[in-house]
Structure 1
């Protein structure tokens, strides 16, 4: 009974001996779950002297990721956010009614609309600013257009009143400006679009032939199915408030930008289904902006007054536990059975990783019985804690009176006045937005063991002084226990798979191998594991290949004299072989990729490493393979050369433009005797 014992929690099966909420098992312990939340991460400023605020009619991104802007002077600009390059596309005029133009982007054109009693549509090439066509009617009938959007298939859509009619229609045009259909919109009867406030309506393209119409004045949303020529209203979440902008996020899901006046001055985002269910929330911070756009795995928020575009991305952060609206995780253990009644529990030893803005709280409950009074009667505490039908917040409320005083961030904490056969642990992991504590291991020691037992009995007679002396001596007891633990685990120091970098260098010193500072811990570990092989094969090609592969992570190409000699004696290849390889009987060639010797320090370190294991009579020529292909130079398939199908040049981070490349003007596409390449920049229409 008096021999020290402890319960240990280290591996995932150990932590399953309890019930948790909002917890995640990680490689080295247990922590709070994380979640991805859309947050503001970057601001792209559109600081160009000729760009006049405000940016009316917003912006749009084409398939190449370029943005098109319509400024306060009616000029359409094209810009690339990555390079900040900006260029003028076309200038537009005010309509007779004084309203600014609207625009939409198709595959290769900018469609400009001048809202008027007889609205004019104009298609302008996005490459050379040439006018392609002009349309001022729909099937011969004048119309007034309020807003527009692309349809995703090369055509575009216009929200309009037809001349002499009060109904609102969604007019469909193809890429040539021809009318192809219309859809009645279920709005207020007799709505005259020419008299509504500017930017009241927002038309957004969705997926799979869908688009969405937001009426900001009535805070209503209409789903339009283009393939079915149908439109119907869908609900906005009740607790969302007024929406300023929307963008599609899937077949039946949308992102919405909430009015900051209803969110305490902070722009909030909601992602919701068409049945009005909110899926998740995001935050745009305190940034301005009233127009939302969907990107590849991100959102954009346009601030037309400040001339900037805000990037909003999903950011991993500590998850919020909804019942308490706090970033925390809960774990309650099952009963730890000491085997004897009136057991006095000794201490808790915890190994954890924490930041200054996180905390770990531990509470305990001990009893000689597994039953406790919960609510109207007694219940089995283990069954109650493990019951999935009872919410965790209910369990916390009912069990609150049982727990001891909290221990904050315990590393080695004594347990006082806790006597009983069974002990339950209640652990709270409290995190911040960017950090979460990790518990690597937990030990609960019993029974009580103190150095006071080794002192004369006179020191134990007075209870107040006895408790103080026991706590005081526990400081030295902890130091001695830790020393004893390290001595008992000294064999781990000699295990290459379990020791750390400092001990690895010490062990390598026993073998006469110097672990340089540029070796990382995993390289040192592999070097120690293969040291006996390297010594047995020292001076051989196999040893050189193994040594270099440990350092670089890839097997090198090693060419000896006997392999180079046939090339040198070949009349056609002799001159090239002489230039590329060392053809001396006492010199061997080592070829490595450029990333393994891209700095002078790496190259010198690699040469020093090779010199320490090469034959005494030989020398090495180190060849660094460059990532390009030239005839009569080093070109090795799989190392610095690949075979692929020819493709059009695209500067997308995966391709480069050689110095001898000739560029062409895309504005000449589709012209006879200029650029006419079927399947590339031209097509045949029926």
Structure 2
């Protein structure tokens, strides 16, 4: 509205990259404070409050987030914490395994590994639906199995792992032991009970002979796609194996704690628990430690502080933590968290701009307009300063302002402290604000203050110059009053913004009529211009294509070509249109007259539209297609929709190359030694004699 006014616009990453950013997440359409996902407690299951079960000794997570619990009476329970449904998998006193067994879930299967000598089934797989034994073993290649831990890959039912001694000897007391130099390894099992691979590392050789019973509770295993980890809680070491054959990674845990439980998320991060006793050992803080896949310590799960005996991840990266002493299972969910600014340790970010150069000295800057989403509990602070010189004093040194503010080697805290006297008073949460600045160059600072989970989101910033005002259109008496003119100018600025918004909408009104530019309600609104009211049936993609072709389609309305083009847009395939004159001559033959009348009718003003079943899947799609035919057909004609079926049926709509194909009879080859003749019929015997399924007279059914 105001003549001679220009502005600087920052709305793309390339514009913002001219400045300096700290703790900012820059995206194509704007920026915000950086955020990350951290674990927080979502739910706690107290197993000691469940009726009818003994204290829980071990747990894992099955499909559908169901908890699988092993109590001290060797009973296995399946518990759905959402419905609070609890059921037993085996009968009481089954004697299949002891309460010291380890559990792992393979989708609909349960793996139980037990190292007790009194049990015959050292590694066994059971069905979770009925407890049926799928297979069980107690030895491998003549080696007696003593599984010390067990784990399975996330979201798989094909592979699991057991940690076992690979060398066994008989000790002085007659009990099995791992001799000096004996190996501890991991066996990879298939769901069919075959060992497909063995993982081992020299870091897990015994320095002296150790009784097998003394190894219980020492080793913990975790697995994810392509990665396998083994925690030795006694030596405080972790070994990471890779399925692609890379050299294993072996590192020592430097943090304090009594480690127990290890798990791997889908990003191959390692999580290690702490099973220390707070009261007995004087432990005040027990955290779950997070390591990167390369062995680098990354963080602590600070939102969980407690004992951990077992850690399990599910396929959605939810973490389950089991405390055997309290019987408590904590479910931790990933939630977005605002990252803290380095140096201040607050959820905030800072942006320093480069210089905005008008090329004219003593420029009176006008205002800013900021497009931003500012949720509750968050804040944006905008500060600025202007100068005719690009250089000046900063904390006693003569520097180039832009070079100093955008220097990545100078920390953000140092910049904030050194330039504190340059900036204006901050404007809080500005949308449209006047500037009181004069000079060729302008610099600004934006501080984004977030909450624990929320952050302001900056979309676009415009900085206007030179100063203009609606007061210029008033009589001189209003402009010359030095006492009241500044207030009147600020008051009129609100109306100036309103007029600017209106003119901006008028300038860009054409965008609202572009099918490729609008979405949602605007697209539906444009659709009504073409008398399209059923927007859901068309969908946005088809609706846009229809609008772009509308001028040509309306020229062809009422013609064969127009109808075919309209149906092609909706269905994505070209329909078959059959008119009376195309089969009139064949209908004159007496033996075909009845058949053609049955298939296509005998009305010379009727035509048939034939479409495949893949484009007419629902009644709603059929109704839409019939409505298109009704709207687009020529006057005084009738359109008939025929949905072709994907099979050959004599005297029905069977068209070679369309829904029917002829081929040479061939054998179904099962392998190199077995095949099946082409005339073999495959049936389900248990479904015989059932109406509308397998009812064959004189074969499996009789009429009496």
TM over 0.5: yes
Q: Where do 1:568-583 residues align within 5 Å?
A: none
The answer to whether the 8 Å contact 1:207/1:248 transfers is no
Of the structure 1 ranges 480-489 and 517-526, higher mean CA displacement relative to structure 2 is found in 517-526
Quote the Cα distance in structure 1 between the aligned partners of 2:506 and 2:80.
Answer: 63
Aligned residue number for residue 618 of structure 1: 637
Quote the Cα distance in structure 2 between the aligned partners of 1:226 and 1:18.
Answer: 45
Quote the Cα distance in structure 1 between the aligned partners of 2:339 and 2:615.
Answer: 39
Do residues 292 (structure 1) and 295 (structure 2) align?
no
Quote the Cα distance in structure 1 between the aligned partners of 2:516 and 2:484.
Answer: 48
Aligned residue number for residue 230 of structure 2: 212
Shift of 1:74: 0.9
- Choose the corresponding residue for 2:273, options 257, 263, 272: 257
For normalisation by structure 2, the TM-score amounts to 0.69
Quote the Cα distance in structure 2 between the aligned partners of 1:280 and 1:580.
Answer: 73
The answer to whether the 8 Å contact 1:534/1:543 transfers is yes
- Choose the corresponding residue for 1:559, options 577, 583, 588: 577
Shift of 1:348: 0.6
Quote the Cα distance in structure 2 between the aligned partners of 1:169 and 1:485.
Answer: 76
The answer to whether the 8 Å contact 2:383/2:426 transfers is yes
Residue ranges of structure 2 left out of the alignment (5+ in a row): 172-176, 662-667, 671-682, 688-704
Residue ranges of structure 1 left out of the alignment (5+ in a row): 648-659, 665-686
Task: Give the RMSD, CA atoms, in angstroms.
Answer: 5.8
Aligned residue number for residue 497 of structure 2: 478
Aligned residue number for residue 158 of structure 1: 164
Do residues 454 (structure 1) and 473 (structure 2) align?
yes
The answer to whether the 8 Å contact 1:207/1:251 transfers is no
Quote the Cα distance in structure 2 between the aligned partners of 1:104 and 1:150.
Answer: 6
Task: Provide closer, same or farther for how the CA distance between residues 503 and 149 of structure 1 changes in structure 2, counting only shifts above 3 A.
Answer: closer
Do residues 399 (structure 1) and 419 (structure 2) align?
yes
Shift of 1:344: 1.8
The answer to whether the 8 Å contact 2:577/2:607 transfers is no
Quote the Cα distance in structure 1 between the aligned partners of 2:429 and 2:644.
Answer: 53
The answer to whether the 8 Å contact 2:271/2:288 transfers is no
SS at match of 2:421: helix
Do residues 424 (structure 1) and 440 (structure 2) align?
no
Q: Per-residue displacement from partner, 1:125-158 (whole Å, max 9, x unpaired)?
A: 5357459677599969x99876566899788433
Aligned residue number for residue 236 of structure 1: 253
Shift of 1:346: 1.0
Aligned residue number for residue 363 of structure 2: 343
Quote the Cα distance in structure 1 between the aligned partners of 2:509 and 2:242.
Answer: 71
Quote the Cα distance in structure 2 between the aligned partners of 1:75 and 1:361.
Answer: 61
The answer to whether the 8 Å contact 1:245/1:256 transfers is yes
The answer to whether the 8 Å contact 1:273/1:279 transfers is no
Shift of 1:316: 5.9
Shift of 1:67: 8.1
Shift of 1:493: 4.7
SS at match of 1:419: coil
The answer to whether the 8 Å contact 1:40/1:284 transfers is yes
Aligned residue number for residue 18 of structure 2: 17
Task: Provide closer, same or farther for how the CA distance between residues 359 and 233 of structure 1 changes in structure 2, counting only shifts above 3 A.
Answer: same
Shift of 1:369: 1.1
Quote the Cα distance in structure 2 between the aligned partners of 1:397 and 1:66.
Answer: 54
Task: Provide closer, same or farther for how the CA distance between residues 155 and 10 of structure 1 changes in structure 2, counting only shifts above 3 A.
Answer: closer
Shift of 1:466: 2.2
- Choose the corresponding residue for 1:379, options 377, 399, 402: 399
Quote the Cα distance in structure 2 between the aligned partners of 1:34 and 1:639.
Answer: 54
Of the structure 1 ranges 338-347 and 245-254, higher mean CA displacement relative to structure 2 is found in 245-254
For normalisation by structure 1, the TM-score amounts to 0.71
Size of the aligned set, in residue pairs, is: 637
- Choose the corresponding residue for 2:184, options 170, 177, 185: 170
Aligned residue number for residue 202 of structure 1: 220
Q: Per-residue displacement from partner, 1:254-287 (whole Å, max 9, x unpaired)?
A: 2223569799989655133464x12466577689
